[in-house]
Amino acid sequence: METVKVLIAEDKAEIRRALRAFLTRHPNVVVVGETNVDADAVITAGEVRPDVVLMDMGVPGWLSLVTARMIKEKAPAAKIFLSTIHDDTVYSEKANSAWIDGVISKLDLMAGLRSMLTAVSPEATTRQFGGGMNSQYPL
């Protein structure tokens, strides 16, 4: 199975750490960078060429959509998934653009991350995350 390179673009350091901890439990996921949701995300994506960019949609969310478009220019093969705590159909509709491959709810983040990994690496569906109470979550 191929390694999935993930760039985490999230403004809150504690959330970045939690995302990294969860994602790196999967044996075929490598977090290739962590950055804020701004120009740093665009620059880093161009440098590390991730397979996946997991980006906070933020408030009000428009910055994330512009950033996603710029990331696609620097790393056109990257799949971009927005994570959000907001249940706002306006942002979800905007996210369903050519630049966004999926939206993940932070209210059910683990399920969203598993779905994201399955979408980018279908053969990973037979793998499981290891460790802790939630160790038997199939992707």
Q: What is the CATH number of the domain that holds 108?
A: 3.40.50.2300
Mean pLDDT value of segment 37-49: 92
| pLDDT number for residue 84 | 82
* Reported confidence tier of residue 138, pLDDT bands at 50, 70, 90: very low
**pLDDT tens per residue, range 63-115:** 778 888 899 999 999 999 988 877 656 666 666 666 788 888 888 888 888 88
Total number of domains in the chain: 1
Residue 12, domain extent: 4-123
Token code pair at residue 96: 């369903």
The answer to whether residue 21 scores a pLDDT higher than 90 is: yes
Token code pair at residue 90: 């306006």
